[in-house]
Each structure stands twice: as C-alpha cells, then as structure tokens.
C-alpha cells in the first residue's frame, strides 16, 4: 500500500528560511516546526513579498521543504480557494486567516492556530465570539499558564506543547569567563534583558533599577541590554547601564550566563 504524505502550509507575517539574520524568536520556532514536520509531511512555508518577480514562485530548500511566495496584500489575508485547496492543513500565526477564508468561501480546511500570548488569546476569543464560529480544529499553547488564561475567556479544550530549548547550546557556563568574554564587570550584580528593543520599557527598567538600589541601599547593581538590528560596540550609557546591540547567535549563551537575574521590564503582556 502506497503511503501518501499529506501537505501542510505554514503561514505567518514574519518567516525565515534558515539563512541570514534571524528576524525574531517566532521566526525560529516557525522554521524549526516546518523543518521537523517535513520529515513526515509535504510542507511549504508561505511568505508574503512586495517583489512582483518573486511572487508565486516556489523554492526548494535542502532541509526538505519548500517556500512559496505570494503577493503582499494591502488588506488582511484573503487567501484564494485555488491556493488553499492545494493543502490538507494549515498552521497559522494570525487569527484573521481562518475566519477570512471560511466566511468568503465554501472551503473548510483544517487549521491549527498557535496562541502564544495572553493578548493573542483575547484577540482570538473576541473574534470567534463575534462570528459565532467554533471552526477551529486544534488549539495549541506553549504553557499551562496560557491554557489557564484561555479557560477564563473561552471554555474549550487546548493542547499544551511546551516551548523547546536546545540544551546543548543553552547550558550553564562559567559566569566569570562569560563576563570576561563580553567585557562585563565582575564585581556587579547583573540584571540582563535580551530581546526586541521595541518591547523594552526603558523608563520602567531604569526606574525599577533605581528603586531597587534605594530599597536595598546598594550601588553595585547594573543593567545590561542586548537586542536590536545593528551590531555595535558595547555602549556604556550610564555607569550602571550597558547596551550591547545585536548579538550573534553564538554570543547568546555568554550573555545569559553573565546575568545574575534575567530582567524583563514591561508594563504590558509579552509573548510566551
């Protein structure tokens, strides 16, 4: 009996084909998901593009899956039945896609939507409630706390699939050697932030550091920040604040192991 490999489309606003600079963490997760699924399914990652010559082209990758380019749209995703009918399932990072095509066509394509923050849970629940649609086929979340948050707004079953970590790469290292490698003071209590600079509340971060110093009566605390799109020489913004800019992937374990505390100063919800 011949085995048929079912096709899967992976869709999202920000995707990455495993080459060049990584745009963000979600891109890595999507790429790795596609790579692993391609062992068992016939997979394609769908990219939006403003390049008319590239639109509708398909490229094979050595990892075992393909990337397909579709024209970037000025309005929310409105995928044609002709395109969708080529797949048996889609994995989606955006709430509007399944409801857009299910309202505008007769096609009922199974889809999996990943809820990866409390904000996305609220958006998804509001949209589904407004349309009186329970058309999802699977809901996956990265943690039990997100599953509990979902239950507060939507009485439905969800699968918890914990986020994976490469423990061969992200592992404990000698703190003093890591600080020496990055030029971080050895005699400071280091609070570190690593992530998108657009998500960093700088005012909240610095006010928090100052308040901690005041309450504890100590001046040996320092904030180190890494993130952004540009590689720069470390900048001593203040005597207790160093900005590293964009760090290469191989530098990340050094940064994290240099910290005494991972510091995530934000007044709003974060992904994960």
pLDDT above 90 as % of the chain = 18
- For 24, 35, 106, 246, the CA distances from 249, given in Å and listed in that order, are 12, 19, 45, 9
The confidence band for 126, taking pLDDT boundaries of 50, 70 and 90, is low
Of 66-70, 83-87, 191-195, 211-215, the poorest mean pLDDT is in 83-87
Long-range Cβ pairs for the range 103-112 (8 Å, 24+) = 103/131, 104/78, 105/81, 106/81, 107/81, 108/135, 109/84, 109/85, 110/137, 110/138, 111/136, 111/137, 111/138, 112/137, 112/138, 112/139, 112/140
CA nearest neighbour of 41 among 112, 96, 105, 107: 112
Looking from the CA of 115 toward its CB, the CA atoms found within 13 Å total 27
**Thinking of the domain 7-160, which architecture would CATH place it in?**
3-Layer(aba) Sandwich (3.40)
pTM of the model: 0.60
Q: Which residues make up the CATH 3.40.50.2000 domain(s) of the chain?
A: 7-160, 175-262
- Report whether 126 contacts 96 (CB < 8 A): no
CA–CA separation, 198 vs 24, rounded Å?
12
Candidates 3.40.50.2000, 3.10.20.740, 1.20.960.40, 3.40.50.300; CATH matching 175-262: 3.40.50.2000
């Amino acid at each position: 009996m011949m085995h048929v490999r079912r096709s899967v489309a992976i869709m999202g606003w920000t995707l990455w084909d495993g080459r060049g600079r990584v745009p963000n963490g979600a891109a890595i997760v999507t790429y790795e998901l596609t790579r692993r699924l391609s062992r068992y399914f016939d997979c394609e990652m769908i990219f939006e593009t403003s390049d008319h010559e590239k639109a509708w082209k398909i490229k094979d990758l050595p990892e075992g899956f393909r990337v397909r380019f579709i024209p970037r749209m000025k309005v929310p995703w409105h995928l044609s039945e002709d395109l969708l009918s080529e797949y048996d399932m889609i994995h989606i990072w955006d709430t509007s896609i399944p409801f857009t095509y299910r309202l505008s066509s007769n096609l009922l394509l199974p889809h999996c939507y990943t809820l990866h923050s409390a904000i996305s849970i609220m958006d998804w629940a509001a949209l589904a409630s407004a349309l009186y649609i329970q058309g999802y086929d699977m809901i996956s979340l990265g943690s039990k706390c997100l599953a509990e948050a979902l239950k507060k707004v939507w009485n439905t079953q969800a699968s918890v699939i914990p986020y994976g970590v490469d423990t061969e790469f992200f592992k404990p290292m000698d703190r003093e050697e890591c600080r020496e490698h990055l030029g971080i003071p050895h005699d400071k209590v280091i609070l570190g932030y690593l992530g998108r600079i657009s998500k960093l509340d700088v005012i909240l971060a610095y006010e928090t550091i100052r308040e901690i110093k005041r309450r504890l009566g100590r001046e040996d605390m320092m904030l180190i920040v890494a993130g952004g799109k540009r590689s720069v020489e470390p900048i001593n913004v203040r005597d207790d604040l160093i900005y590293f800019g964009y760090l290469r992937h191989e530098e990340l374990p050094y940064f994290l192991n240099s910290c005494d505390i991972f510091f995530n100063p934000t007044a709003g919800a974060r992904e994960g």
